[in-house]
A = this chain, B = another copy of it.
Amino acid sequence: MASRDQEVTLLSAWPSPYSMRVKLALALKGIEHEDLPQDLGNKSKILLESNPVHKKIPVLIHKGKPILESAIIIHYIDEVWPETSPLLPQDAFLRAQHRFWSDFIDKKLSDSLIRFLRSNGDAAVNEEFNQNCLLIEGALAELGSEEEGPFFGGASMSFLDVLLAPYAVWIPGVEQAMGLKPAKCPRFHKLLAAASEHPSAKVALPQVEKLKEYIALRASER
């Protein structure tokens, strides 16, 4: 049995795409951990103490120390457990490309989907989200190799694939609950289909039906 200070704990919330990423990375690496789902309407002492600046999930607690922000947590996981399922590429230029698109996903792609939800389905914001998806499609054509497999990492999931995987449930969820009209992005679509069928996704991603109900409920509360 691992000693207490070796334990890995995740503070999460099931609908959060940022939590899903971390769960997926932990599953890909086969890292045993305790999942502590958080009530974000009534933040716990452990969450407020672990992330006093942003007070947000996900938080990974390893050896008693909190690691914050999903992309940073996944960097950490990849550095501490490098052997199984390496996520960041070895080549410095490719690593820079992964970090660039990671930034793009969090600053532009996520942001446009959140604004679509908040606007209750504004067509102009839908179009903005689609333009961002088309840029991901272009990045896949540039960085991925269709012959090797559907992912940025070819046959296996890499850093960017883990960051994008939650869109496999979030895009259809928002489509069904709020009428999002997604752009035609065949390679991005293939990536998401492969991600949702991956064995690690079974434990990391919720069912679309459940997420759809959550999104519709949240929209009705606004």
Q: Enumerate chain A interface residues (CB-CB to B < 8 A).
A: 53, 62, 65, 67-69, 72-73, 75-76, 79-80, 92-93, 95-96, 99-100, 103-104, 135
Contact A72 B96 (CB under 8 A): yes
Residues of B near A135 (CB, < 8 A) are 53
Query: In the complex, which residue of chain B has the Cβ closest to the Cβ of A108?
Result: B53
Question: CA separation between A103 and B69, bound complex, in Å?
Answer: 9
Closest CB-CB distance, A160 to chain B, in whole Å? Answer: 14
Contact B69 A95 (CB under 8 A): no
Question: CA separation between A76 and B80, bound complex, in Å?
Answer: 20
Question: CA separation between A93 and B80, bound complex, in Å?
Answer: 9
Residues of B near A99 (CB, < 8 A) are 69, 72, 75
Residues of B near A75 (CB, < 8 A) are 95-96, 99
Contact B93 A53 (CB under 8 A): no
A93-B67 contact in complex given A53-B104, A53-B135, C-beta closer than 8 Å: yes
Residues of B near A73 (CB, < 8 A) are 96
Residues of B near A72 (CB, < 8 A) are 96, 99-100, 103
Which of A68, A93, A96 has most B Cβ within 10 Å?
Answer: A96
Other than A67-B96, A72-B96, A75-B96, give 11 A-B pairs with Cβ distance below 8 A.
Answer: A53-B104, A68-B100, A69-B103, A72-B99, A72-B103, A75-B95, A76-B95, A76-B96, A79-B92, A79-B95, A80-B92
Residues of B near A76 (CB, < 8 A) are 92-93, 95-96
